[in-house]
Structure 1
Amino acid sequence: MITLAAVVAYSGYVTNRIGSLRRLQNDLIDRNRKDSLQLLRIQNELNSIGISMRDMLDTGALDQGQHYPLTAWQPQFERMRSDLEDAFQREKQVSPQGRTDDQQHYLESSLGQFWDAVNRTFDLAGSGKEAEAREQIRISLQARLAALTTAVARLLVQNNESEEQAAAQVTGIYDRVQRQAYVFVTAMLIAIVLTSLYLIRSNRLLFNQLAILSDQR
């Protein structure tokens, strides 16, 4: 009965540890990886916007008389805005628990301010103030985009660090379970040996008593 109780207790412990590992994997590791994928998508979209802004500032074509107005870029920026906002929305749904409200607010606020600045730039270009619009791209838009890109990069680093910590926790749990399994098996073997010796001794005493009783008859 003692051996059976020990087996049941240890089985319950192992089940609990496995449950902890699954929760850790689902709540942290898997969520971090999904979030990192969305952050990489956001980073790629931001890089595309940066390339487009550099092309908008390229006046080489203008010097050659090939006028390409800034307003011609507006449909492309609207598509990129739609893709970027979709990526941010999906990222928010899988953001890790370690993300603070301040970090999330800064990200959303920076994105909103960036697109407000983009709209003002195209408004300037639409009213014929292309030189002023290009100056806004150099002074305002590129700086805002750089801040957004830096914030996303920091979140990626934070996710990687959290994933490494979670992996270390998983390894630690596995190591503890393994050590305790060795201790349990050793204890069970000792218990079995001691029980066997006790049964052998008890049987010998019983047989001796039976032999004595038989001789007395």
Structure 2
Amino acid sequence: MDDARVLPTTLLDLLSNAIVLRQTAPYIPVSSITALSATCRSFRDIVNSQSDVWRYLDLTKIAQIDTSPIDVGGVTWRAERMDESLTEDDFYAGPLRGIFSNLHQRRILKYVQTLILDGLSVPADLVREIVAEDRYSVRTLSIREAKHLNQSKLQQVLRYAIRPTRAEGTPKLKALYFFGPKDAARYMIGQQQRLEGSQALGYARV
């Protein structure tokens, strides 16, 4: 056995370690995580079953849509509508709702605790869903420079979420980033994510 060689540590070995995975996952783009899960069953099992992979979800690079006006003379808007009951908010929330629906079907959405939607189309009704619906577990939400977000409606959503008669333990949301440039929000939330990881390891900020 003295001649036995010690095999080098593989990427699978590293990501199978919960501590390494928790600290590494926030820096891996969603597209790379998806590509990694497609390489083999072992990686797919990690991606689909480990909550730490999805605790921090940044959709700013993969949920872009054309944000030009959709009602220039009414022509473009009517051409885009698939259903007469579809509202403008529904139209703009469509791409993100599609992503969230897919994650929910894969039983992944419940793992997301930090969600970054900076610069994307995020109507107030979509914020309401994230804050109020049981399928979401988002604790930190960043919507800096979000498009098609009616601030008055957002205020109504937040007031309702913290109403005195709300259910115990709600809302799950503890932090909302709205003001300032979107790049600053990503940095600040990244700092918070690293702090959460340190606390999980038994460290605390002094």
Between structures 1 and 2, the one with greater helix share? 1
Q: TM-score, normalised by structure 2?
A: 0.29
